[in-house]
Chains A and B, each alone.
Chain A
Amino acid sequence: GAVVSQHPSWVICKSGTSVKIECRSLDFQATTMFWYRQFPKQSLMLMATSNEGSKATYEQGVEKDKFLINHASLTLSTLTVTSAHPEDSSFYICSASRVLGTSGSGPQETQYFGPGTRLLVL
């Protein structure tokens, strides 16, 4: 089946540094990728939608200058947490949208989730 990878899986950094997280679709091309954030014992919160070759669309309340998203190719999207602070510590998950085919109701897409990246800012 389709695989989405994230790198790194774990990162610990000092406050004030920037951290880049990569999301790759390994065996399919993804025109759209999504970035989520999950706080402990809570649900996933959509941060932004990343479209290849264009600017990301951020959800309300998410600082676009804080969380830089680049979707440079059809298989790679990156999330950079700039000047990270302890409150940015979280579990970041990406997903990639794959078109499986078309039906009478239009393109049939499904989402594949990455394994997540756990960020700890000291």
Chain B
Amino acid sequence: GNSVTQMEGPVTLSEEAFLTINCTYTATGYPSLFWYVQYPGEGLQLLLKATKADDKGSNKGFEATYRKETTSFHLEKGSVQVSDSAVYFCALSDRYTGNQFYFGTGTSLTVIP
């Protein structure tokens, strides 16, 4: 079946530190992979996505590369800001299962000045 496993938090970093949030997946088909961000009190926002192997999604300084060989989609940012404090969810969607989304448990990030 389909599932997503992501690094447990919470993660606390100083401003301008390097961020990595690990995400691995299992899928029966050829999924699309996503990172969503949820700011305090708000809904989910798509951060970036990749639809096939070796694709790199990027947005707002965040990047993630779809690695089929390691079934991973790790999120990275070279220099985090206080405004990046949020919960980050890794997710996959597989059209063979009706485009249903499977989410990881979320990783809470707090960036301190």
Using CB atoms and an 8 Å cutoff, list the residues of chain A in contact with chain B. Answer: 6, 32, 34, 41-44, 46, 49, 93, 95, 97, 106-107, 109, 111, 113-116
Contact = CB atoms under 8 A, between A and B. Distances in A.
Nearest to B42: A115
9 contacts: A32-B99, A41-B108, A43-B104, A44-B44, A44-B101, A93-B43, A106-B95, A111-B99, A113-B45
Contacts of B43: 6, 93, 113-116
Contacts of B46: 113
B95 A46 contact: no
A32 B98 contact: yes
B20 interface: no
With most chain A CB atoms within 10 A of its CB, the pick from B45, B100, B104 is B100
Contacts of A113: 36, 43-46
A2 to B, nearest CB: 10
With most chain B CB atoms within 10 A of its CB, the pick from A32, A34, A111 is A111
A93 B99 contact: no
A116 B44 CA distance: 8
A8 B64 CA distance: 34
B95 A34 contact: no
B101 A42 contact: no
